[in-house]
Every structure is written in structure tokens, then in C-alpha cells.
Structure 1
Amino acid sequence: MAGLTIATFLAGIMMIIMGLLRFGDLIKFIPKTITVGFTLGIAVGIFVGQLKDFFGLSMGAVPAEFVEKMVAYAQHLNTIHWPTLMIGMIALLIQIFWPRVSQKIPGSLVAIIVTTAIVGFGHLSVKTIGDLYTIKAGLPTFTMPELSFGLVRQMISPAFTIAILASIESLLSCVVSDGMIGSHHRSNAELVGQGVGNMMSALFGGIPATGAIARTAANVKNGGRTPIAGMTHAVTLLLILLFLMPYASLIPMSCLAAILIMVAYNMSGWRTFVHMLKKAPKSDIAVLVITLVLTVFFDLVVAIEFGMVLAAFLFLKRMSDVAAVRQWVDKDSLDDAELSENTDLKHVPSNTVVYEIFGSLFFGAANDFLNFNHEEGKNVLILRMRNVPAMDISGLEALEETLEICQKRGMTLILSHVNKQPYHVMEKAGFVEKVGQENLCENIDASLKRAASLAK
């Protein structure tokens, strides 16, 4: 237990550091296809996890894995406890129809009160929280584990794992709530807050805690929109812990299952999922479905990791596909009809060939930029780079090879309209010096003028 306490405390410190270093901003790089997929996957997991209590199945511990869980349910369908199912259905119907009566009082609260009263006054043999769990009123005691350098060093690796997983799940909860209420969370503040919470939890014997998507969705569905809702939630739990635990033990388990089933439905975002299946590109659909399947059959961490890798590869493929190199055509070589359709063409000196590059010059597309046609009588090659927003080392190597080819053929390489990021890469690698500052021109007009001056 001392190891878990130390690991949780260290994880809290790490989360605070990540928040202060603004690591929370990285959550924006998770694509919508992944958030929609794992949200629906979590909803499916929550729904399936409540079936035992909702139907009152007489079975042992529910298996952790999805397939084994469904097999176990199927094997025990003949053990359905009908009074339990009736209470669950009543709780479900109250949550569905109560909003038509009142929007101010949550339907889940009404369902708890009504079903608890029915079970209590009707003396129904329905499992309650108190029947399955031992709960006591009062605050947990302050716990300070015995510290040793060896134990702390041993717990650093588990603490880092806890911090990463807790950060991911908490921030993903924020992303889900953003989608439900149309707002924007503060990722770094969330990490700091979760870090402080985990540090305090460890000192009172608690286990690592994260922002939970199910509770967040329930909060939003019942009107929560601001941090006050979370604070109210915490205070309410504290009051229940101190004064109402004997009454909480009377709540039917099937009622809680019905509440979580409604939470799963409300958070699932199935309409968005179906819309994406109909409208999104095939590559996005692949990420969407794979993330859903991995979340259901494995877990959230595997789904996020695989989904991010797949999304990254598909993004690189798209960037590579849209990248292109096009050769300019001199307007003097066109007839009147073609000129009328290409009014923005410029006169290209007879000693010059011009290529325009479109798209980022990176490793996924760099090889396509080496296929320049060599024409007799040309001693200048202009590369127009105004549509190249970014470049990596592979793109730089492609330019260096192009420069070497030009030098072997007695040609001068001129770069036109180089943007800030590619220029920084070239300058840092010494490529600007190799090309010559005079051969880096501000725009195409200056490049053509420079090329004309090099005519033999």
C-alpha cells in the first residue's frame, strides 16, 4: 500500500509539472475521428458493464474483457431477476420522461428516490448498494507512508505511467464535454488541478483519480456548465460521505445501472458517428471504426495509441498526395485561345526553366521533386516555393541533390519566394550559402529578372 501511495503522490507532482509546462495543449492534436470513436466505444463499455445489475443476473464476478463478458451474460440469461429488472425499467423510464415534467430537477435524482422508496416500502428482494458493499460514514484518515530513497526511486516509473494515463483520460473527458456543451476547456489548468487532487488523495489512502467521461457526461446532461458544477459535485459527495451513507446504502443497484445506461446513451454521440460514416472520407472512416473497435475490445490507451499512429500515417499520405511540382509554360509558346485562359502567365527567358512546388517539402513527398526535365539551351532552373509552407531534412536533401544536378549541368539554381520555415531550415544547414544569397529572390518577377541576367 505504501508503494501505491507514493506512486500516486509522485504522479500528482508530475501532472502539475506537465500542466505548468503547457503539455495540455497537445490534446488539440487528437483528431475528431478518434474522439468520436473512443467516446462511442466507452459508451458501449459502460452500457455492457451495467447489464448484470440491470437484469439482476445471478452470476459471479463479471469478466473484464468485452467478449468474455458477453459470453458470461449469454450463459446466465435464464437467471434474470424480474423484480430487479422492473426497478431498472422504472428508473430508466423516469429518466426518459421526467424532463417533460421539470428541467430543473435531474431525472436521475427522481429515479433514485422513487425506486429506493418502492424497494424499501415494498420489501422487494432487490439488491442494494448495502447488500453488496460495506460503506461507512466519516472522513478517511490521514496516511503518511514510510519513505525511503529506494522505494521512491522504484515508484518513479509506475508514477510516470499513472501520470500519463491520468492526463490522457482527464483531457479526453474535457474534449467530450466540450463537444457536448460547445465550449473550450483549459487543458493545462485541468492537469494542475488533477495533479493536486491526486497528491491529496494519496495522503488520505486514496487511489489515482482522473476526470471520468461517464461522470462528466452525467454532469453535463443534468445542466452542469461551469466549474461550479464540479465543486458542487465534490461537496455533495462529501456531505453524503459524512451524513447520508446509511441512506445511500438503500439505493437499488438496478437503479444505478439504469442511470449509467442513460449516461452511456447521452455521451455516445452515435448521431455524429453515423454522420461521419456517411460523409467522411474512407481514411477517416477507417480511423473512426478502428478506434471504436479497439476501445470496446481492448482499452482506451490502446485505441488512442493505434488511432493516433494510423491518423498520422494517413495525414502524411494525404500531404504527400497533394504535393506536386508543375512546370511553367512560357506565354509566348501559347496561341491566342490558350492565352485567354491563362492571363496570369509571365514571360520566361529562353535560358530558363521554371517549376512551381505545391505542398510541404517533407520525407513523404521529397522524392517527387527530383524529376526535373533537362532541356538543351537552359542554364537556369527557378524553383518557385511560395506554396511550400514547411520543409524537413528530407526536403532539404532533395534540394541539395537538385543543386548538385544543376551544378553538374552548368546550371544556376534560383529559389523564388522561400517562406520563413523553409528558409530557416536552409540557413541553419548552410544551404543558403551554397546556393548564394543572390539566388534567393523575393518573388517570381525578381527571379525571372535574375535569370535573364544570366543568359549566355
Structure 2
Amino acid sequence: MSYNPLSLKLPGIATGLRSAWREGYGLDDLRKDAMAGLTIGILAVPLSMALAIATGVPPQHGLYTAIVAGIFIALTGGARFNVSGPTAAFVAILFPIVAQYGLGGLLIASMMAGVILVAMGIARMGRLIEFVPYPVVLGFTAGIAVVIAVLQIPDFLGLTVDNLGEHFVENLGRIFTALPTLNPFELGIGALTLIVMLLWPRLQLPVPAPLVGLVVGAIAAYGVNQWLGGMGAEVETVASRFTWEINGETGNGIPPIAPTFTVPWLLPGPDGEPIELSFDLVRALLGPALAIAMLGAIESLLCAVVADGLTKTKHDPNAELIGQGIGNIVAPLFGGITATAALARTATNIRSGARSPIAAVIHALVVLLAVVALAGLLGLVPMAALAALLFIIAWNMSEARHFVHTLRSAPPGDVAILVICFGLTVFFDMVLAVAVGIGLAAALFIRRMALLTRTDRIDTDNHPTIHGLPAKVAVYDINGPLFFGAAEKALTSLHLVDPKVQIIIINMHGVPSMDGTAIVALRSLIDEMQRDGIALILVGLPARIIVKLRRAGIRKTRGMLTYCRGLQQARDVALAWHRRRNDIEAQSNSMK
């Protein structure tokens, strides 16, 4: 049969939407989706603003992300309940990109990450999340949470501080130096918002706590600015910090305009001038784009796995990667920043009764309505209140209880990986943390597997199958996979056989696999044994491993090397070889 690469079946798209449609979708399902979409849309408005500001860009770009990416990812992805938009996990990656390359550079990097995500989906890398160990995920998410919290301290305290940079320690130094500029009114607004958001869930009312907290904070800030503003007690708001200019129109806060098509490389770079698209820029952004794609894949697939557990459904991981990629390619063309599935919004979506991806589409339309109709009111939100909201997001993201529990109960190797990933994320960056974490986890796994592989000599006198063998025949049993971390250890004991032994039976029923290193080590052992006149009988190897050994030149040699299916056959072969050797030795002695 000829092989045609064009016959490969590519992963589908919109499988989440199609699976909901196949199960039957009626007016009652639409009503449930509408209510869920309204709920998460109300929640997404303040979150999108806060996360955009934390990233270092004006708040409308977070809203545009929720609108555009939210629609495209929902309609093309492979998960029925994922709700996508800006997320806290990206702050630690995107903030340095904005500082170095500006808004234009961030949008270009997001588009590049989208292309990488589509390629990952087409390459069927949707099972990526299964190969990232839990201590690595917990370590870098907790580290990101710390970075997010530290970045909010200036707004929460009302500090007058220079622009924060890429490095955690430098930012801490700038914040500490600026502490004398603390604004008690900003601190009061932030603390009030934080207390309201923490206490509101106890009332068990259907209105989201972030919305209530920001409304209370905005009212308090408005009162302070109106009645005490003349005495220098001003509270900074979204409108007082951010300005916009579109098609000759200018204003403060958020533009009351729907997302419009824009070319990312015409947007400002770090110096405020339009960034120029060039090969050097693309090459410089390739590393950040890979980091964005990797984190986006991990977070979206993890979110889909959690949603499957809550709803007893099954997502299509490859289609979800393609959908996330499409969303991140399209959103920057309308001013949106990086997007991925958001776990908190997805869980709220499910608890609110969502039935299909239509709920995520309606959530995006609710955000669009807020931008067009309520932009003026959104501008009244104080920066300290948004900082309080991000404190709560950071706390929830840190999973502090799981972090402490893992430190107390996990094996020492896993604890070391957790602490190292956490430290590298905080003091360096997430990409380095994940790379080092996965490398350490792989090394730890190899060590553990190597400890499981062992070689033991069998006492033949009391064995039911191979009893009665002469002293010149030794039997060894190897259990566990033979790979580069275990092969040398497992085969070393075979080099130390009794000098009287002439035939060795190696029982390999417990060897499920062998890699190239193990085959080379076995070949070296066979060569050494044959030089010493010792014959080998390999027992119980699967046919696929025997084929590998034959390809490596380890073939049957009369009287010196053979393969047997079981120990009984090996015993018979060993006895026959032993008799033949005795006969040859007797003939040799008689000739003397």
C-alpha cells in the first residue's frame, strides 16, 4: 500500500459547538446559555479591565480581547464550556513584553503565538497537559500570583512610583522607596473594595462580588473626588489615568466604540511611535511568542479538563488548541491582547447552567454592550479598586492551601521541583521555570524508574521449573524497563558472575522495554561473556524487542547465544549445552 501524506486526517474545528448541537439544542438550552452568558459577561467586564491594566496596556484592550477572542474561540474550539479572554496567568509574561516592545509588539507576539497554537493543534499536541507535572504547574502559577500581587501594590497604596520594569527585585526596591508617598485615600478605597469583595459571597446573592466591590469603590472614589478633591485628596480612576484617540476623536477612560480593525504594527512601540514590522522584530518576539503559546496551551487544556470533570463531558484537545490559536490571531487585529480559557469564568459558566459555547458568545456580546453603552461609568472605577480585585485573583490563583499541603506531604523531589519553579518564576521568568521544572521532573522520574529495575540471582534448587541445574549454570532475573538510566545498573551484576559458571540464563519476562542504551550495554555484556566462553540464554523477551536486538547484531549463535520463550525451554537448552561442553571436554582430555 502506498503512503500518501495528503490522506492524513487533520483535527476538526468547532467540535465543542458541534457536540452540543448533536445532542439536541432547543429554546430551553438557549435560555440557559443566555442567563449564563449574562452572568459571566458581567463578571468579565471588571476582570478584563483589571487584567489589561496589570499587563501594562489601557483597559479597553482587555475588553476587546473578551469580545473578539471570546467569540472566535467559543465558535471554533473543542471545548463546550470554556470561556476565553485575558487571564491573570499571562500578566507575568506580557508585562515585560509591553515594557520592551510596547502595545504593538505585544499584539504581534500574540498573533505569532496564535499561529504556534494552530500548528500545535494540527500536529495533535493536545495531550500536552498530561506531560506537565503537577508540582511544575503549581510552582509557576503560585509564582505568577506573587508577581501579580506585587505589581498591584503601587495602585492599592496610591504610591508615586516610576514605571515598574521586568525584574521582580528591582520592582520591590522601587515600591519600597516610594512608600513615603502613600495616599491614605487610595488605600482606604482599595481596602473598602477588598473587604466588600471578601464579605459579599457570604450573602449568597446572585450578583458577582467583583461587580459589587467595584461599584462600592467607584461611589466612594466619586464622593472623595467631589467633596475633598479641592483639598488635594484625589483618587485616581480609569478616566483620570487613561486617554484615547480614535479617528480624530479623543477622550478619557474607555472609548465608547466597538472594536475596530487595526494593524498591530501601526500601534505604538516602547517609544510611543508606531512599531515597525521587521524580521529582527519577529525574531526577537519568537521567544515570548513561544512562551505565550506554551502557557496558553497548558491553561486552556487544564481548564477544559476541569470542565469535563464538572460536566461529565469530553473535550477535543487538538480542536481546542486550534480554536485558541484562531482567537489569538484574530483578536490582535481588533486591539485584543493574548487570550486563553479562564478557569474562574468557565466554572461560573458551568454553575450558571450553560449548555453550549453559545453562552461564551453571549458573554462576549454583554462585554460589547458594556463598552458601547457604559464606557463613561467604567471610567469612574478607581485604580485602587482594580488593584484590590487583582489581589483576590492572585490569591485564588496561588492555590496557597495546595501549595502548603504539597510542601508538607509530597516526596522531597517533588517539593524541590515546586520550590525551584516558584522561585524561578518570581525572580526570573515562567519559561525558564517550566523548562527547568520539566527537566528536573524528568530526571526524578528516570531515577525512580531506575530504582525499580533490578537484577537478582535465582536459587535453582528450590525453583519448581529450573531445579536440578548443574553448578556451572546460573539463572538471573531482570525486572523493570531497561533504559539509559537503568541498563548499566541492572546489567552490572552480570559481569560479576562466579568464574565456574559457563552458562547464564537471563529471565527477562519482567522487561517491558529496552532503549538504545540498554541494547548497547547488552551487546557489550554478550561480547565480554563470549570472550570468556560463557554462553547466554535470553528468556521471555517480546518479539518486538527480539527484532530490535537482531537489528543491533545480537543474533543466535550455536552453543553461545539463543532466545527462549520460557524457563522450561531454557532449562532444556542449558542442559543440552552443558552435556555437549562436558563431552567436548572429555574428548579433549582423552586425546591428551
- The answer to whether the superposition gives a TM-score over 0.5 is yes
Pick from 122, 127, 149 the counterpart of residue 236 of structure 2.
127
Question: How big is each residue's C-alpha offset from its partner over 1:253-296, in whole Å with a ceiling of 9 and x where there is no partner?
Answer: 11111111111111211111111111112111111100000111
Partner-residue secondary structure (3-state), 2:340? coil
Structure 1 residue 72, shift from structure 2 partner: 1.6
Q: Distance in 1 between matches of 2:216 and 2:505?
A: 79
Pick from 157, 163, 169 the counterpart of residue 61 of structure 1.
163
Q: Distance in 2 between matches of 1:188 and 1:232?
A: 24
Amino acid at match of 1:211: T
Matched residue, 2:549: 426
Amino acid at match of 1:452: L
- Determine what percentage of the aligned residue pairs are the same residue: 34
Partner-residue secondary structure (3-state), 1:62? coil
Q: Distance in 1 between matches of 2:104 and 2:239?
A: 29
Q: Structure 1: any 5+ residue segments left out of the alignment?
A: 333-342
Change in 2 beyond 3 A, CA 1:224/1:117: farther
Matched residue, 1:360: 481
Give the TM-score of the pair, scaled to structure 2.
Answer: 0.67
Residue 329 of structure 2 is aligned to residue 211 of structure 1? no
Q: Is contact 2:465–2:568 with CA below 8 Å preserved after alignment?
A: no
Partner-residue secondary structure (3-state), 1:50? helix
Structure 1 residue 117, shift from structure 2 partner: 2.1
Q: Distance in 2 between matches of 1:39 and 1:6?
A: 25
Matched residue, 1:405: 528
Q: Distance in 2 between matches of 1:267 and 1:419?
A: 47
Q: Distance in 2 between matches of 1:377 and 1:74?
A: 76
Change in 2 beyond 3 A, CA 1:274/1:10: closer
Q: Distance in 2 between matches of 1:419 and 1:251?
A: 68
How many residues matched?
A: 438
Structure 1 residue 159, shift from structure 2 partner: 6.7
Amino acid at match of 2:479: F
Matched residue, 2:211: 109
Pick from 139, 154, 159 the counterpart of residue 37 of structure 1.
139
Pick from 553, 569, 577 the counterpart of residue 446 of structure 1.
569
Matched residue, 1:167: 293
Matched residue, 2:447: 317
Pick from 257, 268, 293 the counterpart of residue 138 of structure 1.
257
Structure 1 residue 145, shift from structure 2 partner: 8.6
Amino acid at match of 1:366: A
Matched residue, 2:537: 414
Amino acid at match of 1:370: T
Change in 2 beyond 3 A, CA 1:360/1:164: same
Q: Is contact 2:535–2:561 with CA below 8 Å preserved after alignment?
A: no
Q: Distance in 1 between matches of 2:411 and 2:288?
A: 35
Structure 1 residue 365, shift from structure 2 partner: 2.3
Matched residue, 1:339: none
Matched residue, 1:26: 128
Q: Structure 2: any 5+ residue segments left out of the alignment?
A: 1-102, 229-233, 244-253, 266-276, 580-592
Q: Distance in 2 between matches of 1:72 and 1:144?
A: 35
Question: How big is each residue's C-alpha offset from its partner over 1:43-87, in whole Å with a ceiling of 9 and x where there is no partner?
Answer: 111111111111111222123321112222221222221121111
Q: Distance in 2 between matches of 1:24 and 1:243?
A: 39
Q: Distance in 2 between matches of 1:437 and 1:267?
A: 63
Q: CA RMSD in A?
A: 3.1
Question: Which of 1 and 2 has higher RCO (CA within 8 Å, sep 6+)?
Answer: 2
Matched residue, 1:255: 385
Partner-residue secondary structure (3-state), 1:95? helix
Q: Which moved more, 1:191-200 or 1:158-167?
A: 158-167
Q: Is contact 1:88–1:254 with CA below 8 Å preserved after alignment?
A: yes
Q: Is contact 2:116–2:293 with CA below 8 Å preserved after alignment?
A: no
Change in 2 beyond 3 A, CA 1:90/1:4: closer
Q: Distance in 2 between matches of 1:25 and 1:217?
A: 18
Q: Distance in 2 between matches of 1:437 and 1:250?
A: 88
Amino acid at match of 2:485: G
Question: How big is each residue's C-alpha offset from its partner over 1:325-363, in whole Å with a ceiling of 9 and x where there is no partner?
Answer: 11111235xxxxxxxxxx878515214211111222122
Matches within 5 A, 1:151-190: 157=283, 160-161=286-287, 163-174=289-300, 177=303, 182=309, 186-190=316-320
Q: Is contact 1:361–1:392 with CA below 8 Å preserved after alignment?
A: yes
Matched residue, 2:459: 329
Structure 1 residue 224, shift from structure 2 partner: 5.0
Q: Distance in 2 between matches of 1:381 and 1:222?
A: 65
Q: Which moved more, 1:31-40 or 1:17-26?
A: 17-26
Q: Distance in 2 between matches of 1:317 and 1:272?
A: 25
Pick from 80, 84, 90 the counterpart of residue 192 of structure 2.
90
Q: Distance in 2 between matches of 1:298 and 1:145?
A: 28
Q: Distance in 2 between matches of 1:317 and 1:359?
A: 13
Change in 2 beyond 3 A, CA 1:65/1:28: same
Q: Is contact 1:7–1:159 with CA below 8 Å preserved after alignment?
A: yes
Question: How big is each residue's C-alpha offset from its partner over 1:271-325, in whole Å with a ceiling of 9 and x where there is no partner?
Answer: 1111111111211111110000011111111110111112222222222233221
Partner-residue secondary structure (3-state), 2:127? helix
Give the TM-score of the pair, scaled to structure 1.
Answer: 0.85
Q: Is contact 2:144–2:425 with CA below 8 Å preserved after alignment?
A: yes
Q: Is contact 1:34–1:307 with CA below 8 Å preserved after alignment?
A: yes
